[in-house]
């Protein structure tokens, strides 16, 4: 199993540009989530999904959209990038419960 994969590993955007961060898992996990990690802030939950077709907001959802059309994929969309969205983004998945989350390697995003 590849586990949780994220692409790209690194991305530079200009303010106002849009992009999609990809996340995929091959463990048939129902629960998937997106976090952002900023220096000194720990991880903050952006959006999460408890199954295909079901998504909900986390702690810091503004500026981000998600969808979950399949169990495997959970893309994160930035519609109009802002410098405040410069961060490292982690995708995670887990079985039905949140007792163990499996994290991807992260996407480092720089918005100029």
Interface pattern 13-52 for other proteins (x via CB under 8 A): ------------------x-x-x----xxxxxx--x-x--
Q: Indicate whether 100 belongs to the interface with other proteins (CB under 8 A).
A: yes
Residues 80 and 16: their CA atoms lie apart, in Å, by: 4
Rounded to a whole number of angstroms, the minimum distance from the CB of residue 80 to other proteins is: 26
Strands across the sheet containing 64-66: 4-7, 19-25, 76-78, 64-66
CB atoms within 10 A of CB 15: 12
Q: Indicate whether 99 belongs to the interface with other proteins (CB under 8 A).
A: yes
Cross-strand partners of 38: 42
Residue 35 CA: distances (Å) to CA of 1, 20, 61: 22, 14, 10
Considering only CA atoms, which of 104, 89, 110 is closest in space to residue 21? 89
Candidate list 56, 79, 84, 110; residue touching other proteins; CB under 8 A: 56
Stretch that binds other proteins, among 11-19, 21-29, 74-82, 95-103 (CB under 8 A): 95-103
Rounded to a whole number of angstroms, the minimum distance from the CB of residue 86 to other proteins is: 16
**Contact residues: other proteins, CB under 8 A:** 4, 31, 33, 35, 40-45, 48, 50, 56, 58-59, 90, 92, 97-106
């Amino acid at each position: 199993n590849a586990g949780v994969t994220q692409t790209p590993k690194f991305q530079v955007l200009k303010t106002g540009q849009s992009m999609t961060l990809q996340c995929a898992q091959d463990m048939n996990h129902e629960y998937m989530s997106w976090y952002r990690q900023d220096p000194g802030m720990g991880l903050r939950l952006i959006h999460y999904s408890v199954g295909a077709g079901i998504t909900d907001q986390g702690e810091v959802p503004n500026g981000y959209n998600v969808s979950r059309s399949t169990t495997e994929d959970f893309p994160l969309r930035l519609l109009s990038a802002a410098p405040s969205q410069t961060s490292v983004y982690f995708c995670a998945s887990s079985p039905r419960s949140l007792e163990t989350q499996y994290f991807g390697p992260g996407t480092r995003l720089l918005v100029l």
